[in-house]
Structure 1
Amino acid sequence: MTAYENLMAFARETQALSLIAGRLEWDQETMMPRGAAPQRGEECAAIASVLHARRIDPKVADWLNALETEELDGVAKAQLRHIRRSHDRASKVPAALAATIARVTSQAQGTWAEARAADDFAAFAPTLEEVIKLKREEGQALANGGDIYDAMLADYEPGTTGAQLEAMFGALRPELSVLRAAVLAAEAPAQLTGTFDEAAQMKLTRKLAKAFGYDMTHGRVDKAVHPFSSGSGLDVRITTRTNPEDPFNCFYSTIHEVGHAAYEQNIHRDYLLTPLGEGVSMGVHESQSRIYENQIGRSRAFTGWLYGEMRDAFGDFGIADEDAFYASVNRVSDGYIRTEADELQYNLHVLLRFDLERALMSGDLQVSDLEAAWNDRFAADFGFAVDKPSNGVLQDVHWSVGLFGYFPTYSLGNVYAGCLHEAMRAALPNLDGQLAQGDTSGATTWLRENVQTHGGLYEPREVIANARGAEPSEAPLLAYLKEKFTGIYGL
């Protein structure tokens, strides 16, 4: 076998083991008995040690060095780019530290869940301090004297820096604040009321998943506290949640996660179990979930179809017609929870977290001051006070599992989705006619061909630039939001 063949065989085994680790995390969120958490922490640490050892294996460096002068095609060069990046990063992190982080964050997830249920941030604070200490140690190893937060961000959005995001988000925040104030000062659309059978919600949510192209022969829909997507290739699973008073939470969480899952399911099968066989970055990943959920799923055309489906499932639920339903789906209202936030205010929730976690990583903000800092920023951005920790600093799982650098990719994904929506609309002039029939195939096919099939073949910004025909910018997202909410609220 050639050096390239040996390297790719080794990489496929590593990728398979990584997916097994992901399945452990899926099980922890959906099926695992609560009392199994300490053992699961050891299991996660063990597999993390195996993966870390494979990623820094000297054979990988030998194969990479042997291929430096080889003539390779574009796909092979992209495979090597990912393998080299992973090898270089893993080689900077001591194996003991990688295992400790896996063990502590697995156990911290349970501690966070208990503290959240008890609305007791103080009970979680010591664990969070330990996680941050370990992640800063990892960041220092990765940064090699550079910016710790940038080193962490590279795990989720290679090629992007905190300073770049700060500039982009700095352009978003004032525009969103002005639009938010105008919308909330206007008369609000009718709000959905009543109770909606949770079994009927799950039945319709599975229909929605299929309508958006989710392949149930290679996936499944389960319930979890925090909706997520897990896996790639031939086994891509999603979770959702139900609330008898809020079926939109179930339906749009599902559509959102289907966007993630469709990305993984639609990557070219030639890349299966290779570094190219998964989404290239969390920002690009989030662009798929957000464009599925918002620009497609909350569009006037698609909500017209969904209105009929909901009447079939639940009978008369008090919304007079399709126009009123569209306005209700897109209703802007005050709320604490990021995952339940309307499309207009969602990014303000993300920018809050981005600024706070950068300050935590730099040492400018201490965990002892985090709850107060969160509450102050929330009041400044949203105009009312946080009532309890589960609606504030304890609402998200991300920091407990060490995902620092992850939050900004949500808003970056929204920016990317704005760019893709602009290009997709130009390419598909009859899109609304299809969506009005519940047919998303035009949109999902366009996204599959222009984004999803490539997997990790291109760099993140390159994927969006190729699809759009121009570099990514926040301008299309802002234009879309202004046009949409100005129309709904009659501004």
Structure 2
Amino acid sequence: MTAYDDLLAFVRDTQALGEIAGRLGWDQETMMPSGAGDQRAEEFAAIESVLHARRTDPRIGEWLETAQAPDEMGEAVLRHVRRSYDRANKIPAKLATDLAKLTSKSQGIWAAARADNDFAAFAPTLAEVLRLKREEGAALAAGGDIYDAMLDDYEPGAKASDLTAMFDAMRPRLVALREAVLAQPESKAVQGQFDEDQQMKLSQLLAETFGYDMNRGRIDKAVHPFSSGSGNDVRITTRTAADDPFNCFYSTIHEVGHACYEQNIDQAYLLTPLGSGVSMGVHESQSRIYENQLGRSRPFTGWLFGKMRDAFGDFGIATEDEFYAAVNCVQNGYIRTESDELQYNLHVLLRYDLERALLTGDLEVADLETAWNDRFAADFGFSVDNPANGVLQDVHWSLGLMGYFPTYSLGNVYAGNLYSALRDAQPNLDDDLANGDLSNATGWLRDNLQTHGGLYEPRDTIKRACGFDPSEEPLLDYLEAKFKDIYGL
């Protein structure tokens, strides 16, 4: 056994334990009894203690000194392990365990506060999470930018200064398009009640249509839809509402984008650092291109219209064009996850700015609800009506996921680049979509991006797939063309 072989065997066991921890999280969101929260927090803390000890094991440093990569895969494995090892050794073991335990409990406290519309009930816990995250950020940054250190967990190599420049370039065109669209009459909406069991059946059809392998996955319900796992055990959740079938269908397609990325990574990378998506921005590019550029396209919604008529009968929409407009309706709303494609990034930019201010100390938790409400009113032109529709709507901060939010908009930008390249590569794309055939589109994404997993760095992964450097321009051009067409601008 060489040093590289010993290292890889050790890392594979650590990855497997991490997958077990992920399964605990999936269970907590879907099936765990409500009274098990405190015990689950202890379980999370225990496994995090084991994982942190393995990630900082001195033998890793010794192996890294002498290991020789046998090939390109080996070079990428060593790059990931070295980054993870250096990062983990900067975080004290007690801090890692305290964070795991607190964020497990915090999630339940957040959920109860959200149900009660009571930010004050969550604020002390959030302040404690923030205190620990600041401590973690300071340890990781070693005198550098704390937010950059947080961001590196989700988008290695990204810098807040670059993201800010990108988002500042996006905002004016998004705001101008939003104002022009909202000045037009609102699209006709679907009407009636939609049986939730039927929604789940159609949801499974959509998942399979987009390439989700049900032999290596499953669909369950959760308050906040998510995808969990990698390789041969990748699970998704969705949600249903009797008066809003699109919430179910497009949550499903979105999570299938994440899940297919994981399922389609080269099996040679299973349980190695390359066996998961390379970053959250790249991950989000898959969920967003599945959901929006493909799933909300005019040809695909024509196919979906027929399936919905078969499942639900008449629901107040007479034509495919009306249905396309209904699916892509732009309207005022509070909730990020329910936002239309045009306004979604404005929701993300709000959170990006607030969490940076929280981490730097420019904003305290006691002032967060007011800051949220003021920013929302400025960006969207109306006031938040209650905390559940405002500062309490997202689970991320309760989990300590500082630096996560900007990857949503970065994923949209990447999706815009990928869609431009996909259209050039697939001249019959619209015909395929009109027939409910996603195999060529998802096959292109599989072959050009998904199969590589963590082999390349995030931006390089996108550049290799597209053939050009990532830019916000293709996304903005796509949005303007699409919504000007829908609204006759």
Q: How high is the TM-score relative to the length of structure 2?
A: 1.00
SS at match of 1:267: coil
1:473 has 2:466 as partner: no
> Identity of paired residues, percent?
71
Aligned counterpart in structure 2 of residue 216 of structure 1, from 187, 190, 214: 214
1:5 has 2:5 as partner: yes
User: How far apart are the structure 2 equivalents of 1:410 and 1:79?
Assistant: 26
Aligned match of 1:42 = 42
SS at match of 2:156: coil
User: How far apart are the structure 2 equivalents of 1:431 and 1:113?
Assistant: 42
Shift of 1:265: 0.1
Contact 2:69-2:78 within 8 A present in 1 as well: no
Write out aligned runs for 1:16-165 (5 A): 16-67=16-67, 70=68, 72-165=70-163
In structure 2, what residue type is equivalent to 1:412?
A: L
User: How far apart are the structure 1 equivalents of 2:166 and 2:26?
Assistant: 33
Aligned counterpart in structure 2 of residue 438 of structure 1, from 436, 439, 453: 436
SS at match of 1:239: strand
Contact 2:126-2:398 within 8 A present in 1 as well: yes
Write out aligned runs for 1:331-342 (5 A): 331-342=329-340
Contact 2:44-2:101 within 8 A present in 1 as well: yes
Aligned match of 2:485 = 487
SS at match of 1:173: helix
SS at match of 1:336: coil
In structure 2, what residue type is equivalent to 1:186?
A: Q
In angstroms, what is the RMSD of aligned CA positions?
A: 0.5
Write out aligned runs for 1:292-441 (5 A): 292-441=290-439
User: How far apart are the structure 1 equivalents of 2:51 and 2:376?
Assistant: 39
SS at match of 1:47: helix
In structure 1, what residue type is equivalent to 2:288?
A: R
Q: How many correspondences in the alignment?
A: 489
Question: Which stretch of structure 1 is more off in the superposition, 189-198 or 226-235?
Answer: 189-198
Shift of 1:72: 3.6
In structure 2, what residue type is equivalent to 1:408?
A: P
Cα distance per residue 1:140-180 (max 9 Å; x no partner): 00000000000000000000011110000001111100000
Aligned match of 1:187 = 185
User: How far apart are the structure 1 equivalents of 2:261 and 2:61?
Assistant: 30
In structure 2, what residue type is equivalent to 1:376?
A: D
SS at match of 1:410: helix
SS at match of 1:384: coil
Contact 2:4-2:69 within 8 A present in 1 as well: no
Shift of 1:71: 5.7
In structure 1, what residue type is equivalent to 2:156?
A: P
Cα distance per residue 1:439-480 (max 9 Å; x no partner): 001110000011100000000000111111111000000000
Contact 2:69-2:75 within 8 A present in 1 as well: no
Shift of 1:187: 1.7
Shift of 1:73: 1.8
User: How far apart are the structure 2 equivalents of 1:365 and 1:162?
Assistant: 17
In structure 2, what residue type is equivalent to 1:40?
A: R
SS at match of 2:363: coil
SS at match of 1:334: coil
Cα distance per residue 1:398-454 (max 9 Å; x no partner): 000000000000000000000000000000000010110100011100000111000
Contact 2:46-2:97 within 8 A present in 1 as well: yes
User: How far apart are the structure 2 equivalents of 1:474 and 1:28?
Assistant: 37
User: How far apart are the structure 2 equivalents of 1:131 and 1:205?
Assistant: 36
User: How far apart are the structure 2 equivalents of 1:57 and 1:71?
Assistant: 20
User: How far apart are the structure 2 equivalents of 1:174 and 1:358?
Assistant: 21
User: How far apart are the structure 1 equivalents of 2:326 and 2:284?
Assistant: 24
Shift of 1:194: 1.1
Shift of 1:189: 1.4
In structure 2, what residue type is equivalent to 1:6?
A: D
After superposition, the Cα gap between the structure-2 partners of 1:428 and 1:96, relative to the gap in structure 1 and judged at 3 Å, is same
User: How far apart are the structure 1 equivalents of 2:69 and 2:480?
Assistant: 49
1:254 has 2:249 as partner: no
Cα distance per residue 1:73-98 (max 9 Å; x no partner): 21100000000011000000000000
Cα distance per residue 1:267-324 (max 9 Å; x no partner): 0000000000000000000000000000000000100000000000000111011111
Structure 1 residue runs of 5 or longer lacking an equivalent are: none
In structure 2, what residue type is equivalent to 1:155?
A: D
User: How far apart are the structure 1 equivalents of 2:241 and 2:316?
Assistant: 18
Shift of 1:223: 0.1
In structure 1, what residue type is equivalent to 2:15?
A: Q
User: How far apart are the structure 2 equivalents of 1:174 and 1:36?
Assistant: 47
In structure 2, what residue type is equivalent to 1:22?
A: G
Cα distance per residue 1:232-284 (max 9 Å; x no partner): 00000000000000000000000000000000000000000000000000000
In structure 1, what residue type is equivalent to 2:450?
A: Q
User: How far apart are the structure 1 equivalents of 2:104 and 2:255?
Assistant: 22
Structure 2 residue runs of 5 or longer lacking an equivalent are: none
Cα distance per residue 1:167-224 (max 9 Å; x no partner): 0000111110000000000122101121100000000000000000000000000000
SS at match of 1:263: helix
Aligned match of 2:198 = 200
SS at match of 1:236: strand
In structure 2, what residue type is equivalent to 1:402?
A: G
Question: Which stretch of structure 1 is more off in the superposition, 460-469 or 282-291?
Answer: 460-469
In structure 2, what residue type is equivalent to 1:467?
A: A
In structure 2, what residue type is equivalent to 1:11?
A: V
User: How far apart are the structure 2 equivalents of 1:439 and 1:334?
Assistant: 33
In structure 2, what residue type is equivalent to 1:147?
A: D
Show structure 1 runs of 4+ deviating over 4 A: none
Aligned counterpart in structure 2 of residue 263 of structure 1, from 258, 261, 264: 261
User: How far apart are the structure 1 equivalents of 2:70 and 2:221?
Assistant: 45
In structure 2, what residue type is equivalent to 1:202?
A: M
In structure 1, what residue type is equivalent to 2:116?
A: A
In structure 2, what residue type is equivalent to 1:426?
A: D
SS at match of 2:229: strand
Shift of 1:369: 0.4
Shift of 1:328: 0.5
SS at match of 1:439: coil
User: How far apart are the structure 2 equivalents of 1:290 and 1:71?
Assistant: 35
Contact 2:261-2:446 within 8 A present in 1 as well: yes
